[in-house]
Structure 1
Amino acid sequence: MNDNSKKWLFLLILSLIWGSSFILIKKSLLGLTPYQLGALRTIITGVFLFAVGLKSLKSIKKSEWRWVVVSGFLGSFIPAFLFAIAETEIDSAITSILNSLVPLNAILLGFAIFKIGFTRRQFLGVIIGFIGTSILILQGADLNPDQNYLYAGFVIISTVMYALNVNIIKKHLQNVKPLSIATGNYVAIIIPAIVILLFTDFFSESTFAHPDFEMSIVYVVILSFFGTALAKVLFNTLVQISTPVFASSVTYLMPVVALSWGLLDGEIFGPLQIVASVIILLGVYLANKKKA
């Protein structure tokens, strides 16, 4: 399979995995606080990656480690907490929709900071995708007036961090194996996560006695393995065989998956949001369509 076929396959797989992550976060929060969830997600993911990727760390050069550390905090550690905090007030599907700002930020930051060029067609595609996302957000606000959209700021901050991360991987870690990057990320962030967990009263009797505690742990384990450990390796590979903009386009497809899970879980969205999802997919196509 050539790289062009692989990148579309990886995009689809990641869309399914990450599109399902938001409902898993929502379910995990039934028995855990946002800080417990963020810390546990980081720790469990680290354990999974260390089990298969410790030997791969030898391939990381000393000069590359600083970028691996920065990538770990921007692409994994901080967003894990911010998304959990956001979903205490905003539906899982809406959180996924807000996450669609990543490709726009990837283009703008890639051009402004990393001097990575883009075509007019790419920019047009991202703008169209952003318009579709805006429609989804406005409709979500109308259908869910009781939700606190100030918490959307946590997701927006995360999208900027994700955009920086994809550009860092493309610019400074292009020749590092995806498994090495992912494992190295968690070498840097697992200790801070443990420290935070110790200060969250996770090991208290009241936490263990919560009726949803056991299922929340199950959801976190699933989220950590599929939504973080496996997805991190796939995403790093996708960035290397495509472009930061193409890799970030996974966030255009994720809302379709997330909205489906949200509907099954009783979240509300209307017909106009379905139209908006089609607009988003059009944006993905235009942003990645090659010239004849």
Structure 2
Amino acid sequence: MQNNNTTKWVYLLVLSLIWGTSFILIKKALLGLNAYQLGALRTIITGLFLFAAGYKNVKLIKKESWIWLTLSGLLGSFIPSFFFAIAETQIDSAVVSVLNSLVPLNTVLLGAAVFKIATNSRQVFGVVIGFIGTSILILEGADLNPNQNYLYAGFVIASTLMYAANVNIIKRYLQDVKPLTIAVGNYVVIFIPALIILLFTGFFKPENFNKQIFVTSIGYVAILSFFGTALAKVLFNKLVQMSTPVFASSVTYIMPIVALTWGLLDGETFSWIQALGTLIILIGVYLANRKPKKIRSV
């Protein structure tokens, strides 16, 4: 029992480090690639890793599951991979990482509003608190960095809503499909669209590959795809199996700390008011994810 307890904490810390580092990798990759090249390339490389690990699982997918796998792939992987890259062309990676913490709050919100999943007053209060923190973070960031367009925070918030919808889709419609099979099915759907987008971005122009920064950026995307997406999915699923979803979701609290550290080391600014906004968001996430004592239907 003690060994299992130690192992789950190791998994949690490793996942926090991997996902917390993803935001600075996106920032570095954008030095040589545009947002559309990054999003498409990330999808393609991740797909190749997943196909290598679980291509045999495709034949196990039932026909009726493909519609939900398509929606899951678009909302949980494809569109956010572009939106996060677009956001980081204008906003610091540290701020983007904190805004990403809205996923658990939006999961509760969408679960209640769209999927009719039971909720309680504490969860609703957590959502409200979280969005107050978000407002503080964005408004202070816009004041602190007038050269950055904080309207691009909308891309991150939209992505968190899509991630939340994806969680609810998997929970409600893909419960009987294995996690690796879901991931492989997602990328079967989105792989070709990503390749088409990449073809139209001018990525394959010979002169691009003569630029060191271009080649280096591809390396950052490869690291991001393998560790931040493909490997992290496997580790997270394993963590859920060895612990509980509540414990696994606590990665949300540690991940921004890692991303903030990377951002500050890279010269990004982060004020005490933004830190307050971050703390308020995390309190909201905590309240929304506590195991409810009493459930009421919405």
C-alpha separation between the residues in 2 aligned to 1:125 and 1:11? 23
Deviating more after overlay: 267-276 vs 210-219 = 267-276
TM-aligned CA distance change 1:85 to 1:191, over 3 Å? same
Q: Does 1:32 align with 2:29?
A: no
Q: Distance in 2 between matches of 1:214 and 1:33?
A: 13
- In structure 1, distance between residues paired with 2:20 and 2:276: 18
Sort the Cα spacing of 1:172 and 1:77 in 2 relative to 1 into closer, same or farther, 3 A. Answer: same
Partner secondary structure for residue 212 of structure 1:
helix
Identify the residue that residue 228 of structure 1 maps to in structure 2.
229
Change (3 A) 1:167 1:247: farther
Q: Deviations over 1:127-162 (max 9, x none)?
A: 333333333323322221110112222222212211
Root mean square deviation of aligned Cα: 2.8
Unaligned runs of 5+ in 2: 294-298
Q: Distance in 2 between matches of 1:108 and 1:279?
A: 17
Number of equivalenced pairs:
290
Using the TM superposition, give the Cα deviation of residue 13 of structure 1 relative to its aligned residue in structure 2, in angstroms: 4.3
Aligned to 1:214: 215
* Inter-partner Cα distance in structure 1 for 2:30 and 2:22: 12
Gaps of 5+ in 1: none
Instruction: Note if 1:17 corresponds to 2:26.
Output: no
- Tell me, in whole angstroms, the C-alpha distance in 1 between the residues paired with 2:153 and 2:43: 22
Q: CA deviation at 1:46?
A: 0.5
Deviations 1:247-268 (A, max 9, x none): 7765454322221110010000
**Structure 1 contact 71–169 (Cα < 8 Å) conserved:** yes
Deviation of 1:99 after TM superposition, in Å, equals 2.2
The answer as to whether partners of 1:32 and 1:207 remain within 8 angstroms in 2 is no
Cα deviation for residue 176 of structure 1 reads 1.1
Residue identity in the other structure for 1:187: V
Shift of 1:85: 1.2
Partner of 2:51: 50
- Structure 1 pair 246/154, CA: closer, same or farther in 2 (3 Å)? farther
Partners of 1:251 and 1:134 lie apart in 2 by 19
Distance in 2 between residues matched to 1:85 and 1:14, nearest whole Å: 24
Q: TM-score, normalised by structure 1?
A: 0.88
